[in-house]
Amino acid sequence: MRKGHMTLALNGIAAPQEMHRLKKKALRRAKLEEGTSVLYEVVYIRRWFEEVRALVRRNVRDVKIKEVFSHKKKHWQFLLQFKNQADWWCKADHCVYLDSAVSLSQRYALHRELQEQNKLIPEWQLAVKMPSFYDTTVIAEALRFIVLDEQERRANKALMLSYEADGLEIIEEIEGENGSEEFIIVKGEDSERDLKLS
């Protein structure tokens, strides 16, 4: 990892490229912070995500399917009779699931709802604590916001990929008026045109 500011301070030499890179990085960070608005402060959900991901990754690494199938508890036997060993998720599937904020948010909301209605299995102990100072309506609203944000990102990504498949290259992204996004798209080397996406 380069530490340009330390190198410059120690050596006392002028490095225009390094200084230009550092200034550009600082401007980019300032622009990002300026355009970011905090709608909900959900630090506890982020912490919950981290703990759940760590816990599930440990379980996936250590789990042995034969041990699960030999489990003697009655509620597990009922669930396992519909599954073959080949139907279990592989580690790659778990990684995809854990990287999805929508899937984890839906799981969190479901656990909270079941906990409030006392419908959890008595033997099931919470491995990760869930704070109780938000009710299910607030969690459902936050979940709706996360799902809509994810859908919008996927739609924009699919649109960009379709342009790239047509031989168009998106070289710059500009924030347009009224919150719309504007992309400068280049086809070939000569022609350049703007495309506005609302």
pLDDT value at residue 47: 72
Average pLDDT over residues 176-188: 51
Query: 183 with 172: CB under 8 angstroms?
Result: yes
CA 64, CA 80: separation in Å to the nearest integer?
14
pLDDT value at residue 76: 58
Give the pLDDT confidence of 69-102 residue by residue, as tens digits.
Answer: 565 555 556 656 655 555 555 666 666 667 777 7
Global pTM value: 0.36
Q: Look at 98 and 193; give whichever has higher pLDDT.
A: 98
CA 167, CA 80: separation in Å to the nearest integer?
49
The DSSP element (H or E) to which 183 belongs, if any, is: strand 181-187
| pLDDT > 60? residue 10 | no
Average pLDDT over residues 152-176: 64
CA 108, CA 106: separation in Å to the nearest integer?
5
